[in-house]
């Protein structure tokens, strides 16, 4: 379960300070498919970063499975990102010099779990229809293929929660639809899926829509 209680995130930019997220409280149950819908600058990505342990709240608590991320050490937070979270980003964020297979294996490099990395990554990419692209570099793949590699990377370490930040934002509508369907499949497989988007159509696919504006939940 994801529980945010009175979470505020303020950023300092020179002399000026602004709050990206203001006093947000919300609960996302395990296995839910949730979309956080808001326009650009609404604070939705910051919210995702806080849930994903990429950042810490200025105030309030972010609890995942009853553990407060704000009180975790950097090392524990890294382990949390590795084991519990799978990120899917709008711009894919794949390592440019690594092959599709190596990109998918990346979370396993930082994991203490003893698994056959290559076999697991290969199986996932095959499942996602990329069996002929294993050794291709990201630049040699289409946008849809890159996002499929990113999804494979997100789930390779069997996380509980998938966090997707505008996952279709950089794709054509047909490919975007395919990616949305993949997230839905992951949800049906029991994963908690949180999609951050400004796309009303994508948000509708989730069972639970959270509207956010100016850092506050409506």
Partner 1 sequence: MNFFESIKIAAASLWARKTRSALSILGIVVGILTVASLLSVALGVKQKVTTSIESLGSNLVAVVPGKIEKGGTPNFFAQLGASTLTEQDYDAIREAAPEAKNVAMAMLVTGTVRAGDTSLNSAIIFAASPGIEQAFNVRREEGRFLDTVDETQRAHTVVLGAIAAKQLFPAGSALNKTIDIRGEGFTVVGVLEAVVSASGFGGPDVNSFVMMPLRTGWDLTGTKQVFRIMMQASDAESISVLADKVKQTLLGTHRGEEDFSVLTQEDLLGFVNNIFDILTAMLSAIAAISLFVGGIGIMNIMLVSVSERTREIGIRKAVGATRGAILLQFLVESVMLTFLGGIIAIALFIAGIPIAKARVPSLPIELNVQVLLLALGFSALVGIIFGIVPAYRASQKHPIEALRAE
Residue 18 interacts with partner 1 (CB under 8 A): yes or no? no
- The Cα-based distances of 199 to 34, 130, 168 in angstroms read 13, 27, 9
- For residue 118, the minimal CB distance to partner 1 (Å) is 13
Q: Which two tokens stand for residue 168?
A: 């279709």
Terminal alpha carbon distance of the chain: 21
Contact 22, 195 (CB under 8 A): no
CA max distance for the chain: 52
Query: CA angle at residue 159 from 58 to 89, to 5 degrees?
Result: 65
Residue 87 interacts with partner 1 (CB under 8 A): yes or no? yes
Which residues from 121-180 bind partner 1, rule CB under 8 A?
153, 157
Piece of the chain touching partner 1 by CB under 8 A; list 36-44, 93-101, 182-190, 192-200: 93-101
Q: Which two tokens stand for residue 166?
A: 């505008």
Piece of the chain touching partner 1 by CB under 8 A; list 22-30, 106-114, 188-196, 207-215: 106-114
- Which of 72, 98, 115, 184 binds partner 1 (CB under 8 A)? It is 98
Which residues from 33-52 bind partner 1, rule CB under 8 A?
49, 52
Question: Hey, what long-range contacts does 5-8 have (CB within 8 A, 24 or more apart)?
Answer: 5/60, 5/61, 5/63, 6/59, 6/60, 6/61, 7/47, 7/50, 7/57, 7/59, 7/60, 7/61, 7/62, 8/57, 8/58, 8/59, 8/60
- For residue 157, the minimal CB distance to partner 1 (Å) is 8
- Which of 43, 60, 107, 167 binds partner 1 (CB under 8 A)? It is 107
- For residue 82, the minimal CB distance to partner 1 (Å) is 2
- Which of 27, 78, 185, 189 binds partner 1 (CB under 8 A)? It is 78
Q: How far apart are CA 33 and CA 47, in angstroms?
A: 16
- Which of 2, 47, 64, 94 binds partner 1 (CB under 8 A)? It is 94
> In terms of CB distance, is 46 or 197 closer to partner 1?
46
Residue ranges that bind partner 1, judged by CB under 8 A = 49, 52, 54-55, 74-75, 78-79, 81-83, 87, 89, 93-98, 106-107, 109-111, 153, 157
């Amino acid at each position: 379960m994801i529980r945010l209680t009175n979470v505020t995130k303020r950023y300092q930019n020179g002399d000026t300070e602004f709050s990206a997220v203001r006093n947000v409280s919300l609960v996302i149950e395990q296995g839910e498919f949730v979309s956080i819908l808001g326009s650009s600058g609404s604070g939705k990505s910051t919210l995702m970063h806080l849930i994903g342990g990429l950042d810490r709240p200025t105030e309030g608590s972010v609890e995942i499975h009853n553990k407060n991320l704000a009180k975790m050490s950097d090392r524990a937070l890294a382990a949390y990102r590795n084991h519990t979270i799978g990120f899917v980003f709008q711009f894919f964020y794949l390592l440019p010099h690594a092959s599709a297979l190596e990109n998918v294996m990346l979370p396993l490099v930082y994991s203490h779990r003893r698994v056959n990395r290559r076999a697991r990554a290969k199986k996932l990419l095959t499942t996602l229809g990329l069996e002929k692209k294993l050794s291709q570099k990201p630049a040699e793949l289409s946008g849809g293929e890159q996002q499929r590699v990113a999804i494979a990377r997100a789930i390779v370490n069997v996380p509980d929660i998938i966090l997707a930040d505008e996952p279709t934002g950089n794709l054509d509508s047909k490919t975007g639809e395919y990616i949305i369907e993949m997230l839905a499949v992951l949800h049906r497989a029991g994963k908690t899926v949180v999609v951050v988007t400004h796309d009303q159509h994508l948000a509708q696919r989730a069972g639970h829509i959270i509207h956010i504006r100016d850092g506050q939940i409506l």
